[in-house]
């Protein structure tokens, strides 16, 4: 089993940014097996297993409180599960921290607690993954190149209303902040991207941009897990749909073989 330290060694050969996404059709990218999580006496996750392949989009759906964010937090290394196994590209790993997740190539966009209000767009985008220049004691942040990439990431998401990327994000609208959050997923080519309700609070055009972005990442071979409440949206991007119901996997659908009605039924626990 690879733990964080071993992963670090494993990835040392490919420094600076995480390993490049593999070409499509490269098999399983991430699998979680029998993940269980209790909050006191509330069982948020009950032996949940799921997987996502390279170049695949898996949608995670379920009612409010079904345990979607809890699962995302566990995968991100933010929350320690009570039990469960993780496999990255077929290899068993231990995800004990956000650093571990990053080293195994997992990038997460959370639903909550995403931005530091007092920092600007560039700093939020690169938080804890900053670009540097110089060596030794003069090693310092490379603002110019971070700025450049921020512009690239924002224009990819079609955001033209953010004019000052060096202004604190607290002055921005909810949708602009959400866009900044989603832009994080695109920055460095992480092979596994997990998005918890990335389109919540976005305008119609912005939602389409995010969906297009997901399809573009998918075409590059990124494995994507997307949490969403919007069935229409899911049918636009997902290859497979995993339904969580009261902390358990209720059903798994292939998009090609199912209908929105069937998925909604499973979400409500009818089917």
Partner 1 sequence: MSEPVSPAAHPLDEIPPRDHARPTDRLVSFAKRWLSAALSQGTAMPAIASLVIIAVFFQSQSQYFLSPGNLSNLAVQATLVAIIALGEIFVLLLGDIDLSLGSMAGASAALLGVMITNGHMPWLLAIFIMLAFGALLGSFQGWWIAWLGIPAFVVTLAGNMGFLGLQLYILGPNGTLGIFDPNIAALSGTELPVSVGWILAAIVGVAVVASTLVRYARGGVAVRSLSRPVVVGVLIVVAVAVFNASRGVPTPFLILIALLVVAWWVTMNTSPGRHLFAVGGNAEAARRAGVQVKRIRMAAFAVSGTLGAAGGLIAASYNGSAGTLTGGGTLLLEAIGAAVIGGTSLFGGRGSVWAALVGALIMSGVENGLDLMNSDQPVKYMVQGVIVLLAVSLDTILRRRQSRGRQLGAAIA
Interface of this chain with ligand ATP, residues 54 to 73, rule: CB under 6 A:
62, 64-70
Estimate to the nearest angstrom the gap between the alpha carbon of 211 and the chain centroid: 13
39 binds, among partner 1, Mg ion, ligand ATP, none (CB under 5 to 8 A by kind): ligand ATP
Q: Which of 42, 80, 116, 127 binds ligand ATP (CB under 6 A)?
A: 42
The Cα diameter of the chain in Å comes to: 62
Please identify, using beta-carbon distances, which residue of 52 and 187 lies nearer to ligand ATP: 52
- Number of helices (H) and strands (E), helices first, in the chain? 9, 12
5 binds, among partner 1, Mg ion, ligand ATP, none (CB under 5 to 8 A by kind): none
62 binds, among partner 1, ligand ATP, Mg ion, none (CB under 5 to 8 A by kind): ligand ATP
Please identify, using beta-carbon distances, which residue of 14 and 140 lies nearer to partner 1: 140
DSSP class per residue in 59-112: EEE-STTSSHHHHHHHHHTSS--SEEEEEETTEEE---SHHHHHHTTEEEE-SS
Please identify, using beta-carbon distances, which residue of 186 and 228 lies nearer to ligand ATP: 228
The alpha carbon dihedral of 154, 160, 165, 169 has a sign of: negative
90 binds, among partner 1, ligand ATP, Mg ion, none (CB under 5 to 8 A by kind): none
Binding site for ligand ATP (CB under 6 A): 39, 42, 44, 62, 64-70, 111
């Amino acid at each position: 089993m690879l733990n964080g330290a071993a992963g670090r060694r494993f990835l040392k050969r490919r420094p600076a940014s995480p390993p490049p996404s593999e070409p499509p059709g490269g098999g399983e990218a991430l699998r979680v097996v029998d993940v269980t999580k209790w909050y006191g006496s509330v069982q948020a996750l009950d032996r949940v297993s799921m997987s996502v392949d390279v170049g695949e989009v898996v949608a995670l759906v379920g009612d409010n409180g079904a345990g979607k964010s809890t699962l995302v937090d566990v995968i991100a290394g933010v929350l320690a599960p009570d039990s469960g196994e993780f496999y990255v590209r077929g290899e068993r790993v231990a995800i004990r921290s956000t650093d571990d997740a990053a080293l195994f190539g997992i990038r997460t966009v959370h639903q909550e607690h995403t931005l530091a209000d007092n920092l600007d767009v560039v700093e939020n985008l690169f938080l804890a993954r900053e670009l540097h220049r110089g060596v030794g004691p003069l090693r310092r942040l490379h603002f110019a190149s971070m700025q450049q990439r921020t512009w690239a990431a924002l224009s990819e998401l079609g955001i033209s209303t953010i004019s000052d990327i060096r202004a604190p994000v607290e002055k921005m609208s909810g949708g602009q902040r959400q866009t900044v959050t989603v832009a994080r997923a695109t920055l460095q080519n992480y092979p596994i991207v997990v998005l918890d309700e990335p389109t919540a609070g976005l305008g119609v055009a912005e939602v389409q941009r995010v969906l297009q972005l997901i399809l573009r990442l998918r075409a590059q071979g990124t494995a994507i897990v997307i949490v969403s409440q919007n069935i229409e949206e899911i049918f636009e991007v997902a290859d497979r749909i995993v339904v969580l119901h009261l902390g358990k996997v209720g059903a798994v659908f292939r998009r090609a073989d199912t209908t929105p009605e069937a998925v909604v039924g499973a979400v409500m626990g009818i089917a």
